[in-house]
Amino acid sequence: MKKIINQLLRRFGYEIQKSGKDQSLLRVLSHAKKMDFGPKTVIDVGAAWGGWSRSCATVFPDARYVLVEPLVEYRASLEGVVKELRSAVLVSSVAASAPGTVTFHVHPDLEGSSVYREGDDAQVNGVARELPATTIDAIAQEHHVEGPCLLKLDVQGAELEVLRGAEETLEKTEYVILETSLFSAYDNVPLLHEVIAFMAERGFVPYDILGLLYRPLDGALCQADVCFVKENGMFRKERAYRKSVD
């Protein structure tokens, strides 16, 4: 029943979820706001039905939202979200390291769709679809994106490929939320330690963590959303553990 209801709600950008996931997102965003972070632009890559941007807008309603999502199946829902938000645009392309055309493996559940294959068994790889690709830097230039930015990526293992096309945008980004993996569900997907090293090379360090996912197979942690901030940025000015007591 929940699955059927979600299929209907997703057409309008809503979804029934366990409260913990949404609350953990609101927790990290509310903390960022408490630290006087106010993004001028929020870039939501892998926007899906638009629920993430809608939740983010409850904390940062005045930001401009750029929703990036290539699948036409999400479009009607996202167009509704774009109208609902105060200022938003929809980019219907795959975010990649370079512009062009990419093969996108579309899964029946949509949310598992990726540029990566899960393995040699064609049944688990979804249906291949050729889609236009662009870069975050190109999107930022076209839509005159202003910093500071909040950048969220949920692209089923392609996070580093997307970030390679966002070098200029990262320079004006203070907060990055990346879905990371501890096991490779897809071929050639970078693992958590590789993502941390990649971000460190660009001056970002882990700051918070949410969305812990444990696999049913053996209860092992397999996925987590990691929040990164600039190592010498606004979020790390204070090094004390607690306020001093006079």
Does the pLDDT of residue 22 top 70, yes or no?
no
pLDDT at 242 over 60: yes
- The fraction of the chain above a pLDDT of 90, given in percent, is 69
Who's near 183: CB < 8 A, 6+ residues apart? 191, 215, 220, 222
Q: Give dist(CA 137, CA 199) in Å, integer.
A: 17
Residue 20: pLDDT band with limits 50, 70, 90:
very low
Lowest mean pLDDT among 42-51, 67-76, 182-191, 200-209: 182-191
Q: Residue 29: which pLDDT band, with cuts at 50, 70 and 90?
A: very high
Secondary structure of the chain in HEC code, one letter for each residue: CHHHHHHHHHHHCCCCCCHHHHHHHHHHHHHHHHCCCCCCEEEEECCCCCHHHHHHHHHCCCCEEEEECCCHHHHHHHHHHHHHCCCEEEECCEECCCCEEEEEEECCCCCCCECCCCCCCHHHCCEEEEEEEECHHHHHHHCCCCCCEEEEECCCCCHHHHHHCCHHHHHCEEEEEEEEECCCCCCCCCCHHHHHHHHHHCCEEEEEEEEEEECCCCCCEEEEEEEEEECCCHHHCCCCCCCCCC
Mean pLDDT of 21-48: 93
Please say whether the beta carbons of 175 and 32 come within 8 A.
yes
pLDDT at 6: 44
Q: In this structure, are strands 41-45 and 88-91 parallel, antiparallel, or unpaired?
A: unpaired
Closest-CA residue to 181 (of 218, 221, 124): 221
Res. 15: pLDDT tops 90: no
Structural domain spans, the chain: 16-236
Give tens-digit pLDDT for 216-229. 999 999 999 999 99
pTM summary value: 0.86
For residue 113, the model assigns a pLDDT of 63
pLDDT of residue 102: 87
- The residue ranking higher by pLDDT, 136 or 129, is 136
For residue 214, pLDDT over 60 is answered with yes
Q: What percent of the chain has pLDDT over 70?
A: 82
Helix axes 51-59 and 19-34, enclosed angle (nearest 10): 40
State the amino acid at position 24 in one-letter form.
Answer: S
The pLDDT tens digits of the residues spanning 81-113 come to 999 999 999 999 999 999 999 887 876 665 656
User: What pLDDT is stored for residue 110 in this prediction?
Assistant: 59
* CATH code of domain 16-236: 3.40.50.150
Q: Give strand pairing partners of 44.
A: 67, 152
Mean pLDDT value of segment 1-5? 39
Averaged pLDDT score across all residues of the chain: 87
Quote the CA–CA distance of 6 and 1 in Å, as a whole number: 9
Q: Which residues pair with 179 in a beta bridge?
A: 225
Alpha-carbon span 31 to 36, nearest angstrom: 9
